[in-house]
Amino acid sequence: RTTICSRFDPPLTAAGRDHARTCAARLSPALGGSTRFGAVLSSPLLRTYETAAAFSKELRTPLVIIPGLSACAAAVDKNGLAWQGAPGVSPLILRKRGECFRTLEELHAAAPLAETPEIVPWIEDFEPTMRRLAEEELSRPARSSDPPAILVVSHREGMRDLSALAAGPRIRETPYCCLAAFLYDRRGGGAWTCVGCQALDTGRCLHE
């Protein structure tokens, strides 16, 4: 197994972990306290997994790792994403460099949860991944009277990339632990609308 390259997959700092827990506690109030999520959907990179784990604990919601949510991160976008062997079982790697991501066991050891997270076997680019997740959510039986919703923990580049494709306001900056809301309309092949973006720690508006 190729040695993990910490340059593309660093952990959160102690301050970053504290920040993630603080922001997780502020998510429900920021959403009005009524939105329910079936799972926290996370990129497989360590720093996003650690952040997602904080949200999973706060919301008491399972965590699911979605490889394509890392496709927008600079190192993955440049080098591509692949499985080293069997999809969903072998480690993920940077395709051009052959360097491994952390395994599911290593992620779980870094930020333990009550349940070991699931990892999906399919790999797509970021926007197709988001589209697939939205379509799957819309196809599920309703969990409550709330509109269908997904909670994604990914990378700042993803917010900017999706905002560039979407109607509505543009996201002008993306500090750590910011919350962006997008609407997905499956009619006509699917279309995104950016509702807005704010910093979870301060509530500061981050869109035009």
Nearest to 72 by CA among 3, 150, 159: 159
What's the order of all strands across the beta sheet hosting 118-119? 118-119, 63-65, 40-42, 151-153
Looking at residue 171, what DSSP letter applies? B
Q: How does residue 87 score in pLDDT terms, banded at 50, 70 and 90?
A: very high
Structure confidence at residue 141 as a pLDDT band (50, 70, 90): confident
Q: What's the CA gap between 187 and 75, in Å, rounded? A: 33
Please, what's the b/e burial string for 180-196 (b: 16 or more CB within 10 A of its CB; e: otherwise)?
Answer: bebebeeeeebebebee
Residue 67 pLDDT more than 70? yes
pLDDT digits (tens, 9 = 90+) for 166-191: 999 989 888 877 889 999 998 878 89
Per-residue pLDDT averaged across 64-81, rounded? Answer: 96
Reported as a single tens digit per residue, the pLDDT across 1-19 is 444 555 688 899 999 899 8
pLDDT at residue 5, as a whole number: 54
Two structure tokens written together for 140: 């599920």
Q: DSSP code of 12? A: P
Amino acid (1-letter code) at residue 159: M
Query: What are 178's strand-pairing partners?
Result: 199
d(CA 44, CA 66): 7
User: What pLDDT shows up at residue 107?
Assistant: 92
174 contacts 204 by C-beta, under 8 angstroms: no
Distance (Å, whole) CA 91 – CA 99? 10
Average per-residue pLDDT for the chain? 89
pLDDT (tens digit, 9 = 90+) per residue, 93-140? Answer: 999 988 889 988 899 999 999 988 999 999 999 999 999 999 999 998
What is the arithmetic mean of pLDDT over 67-82? 95
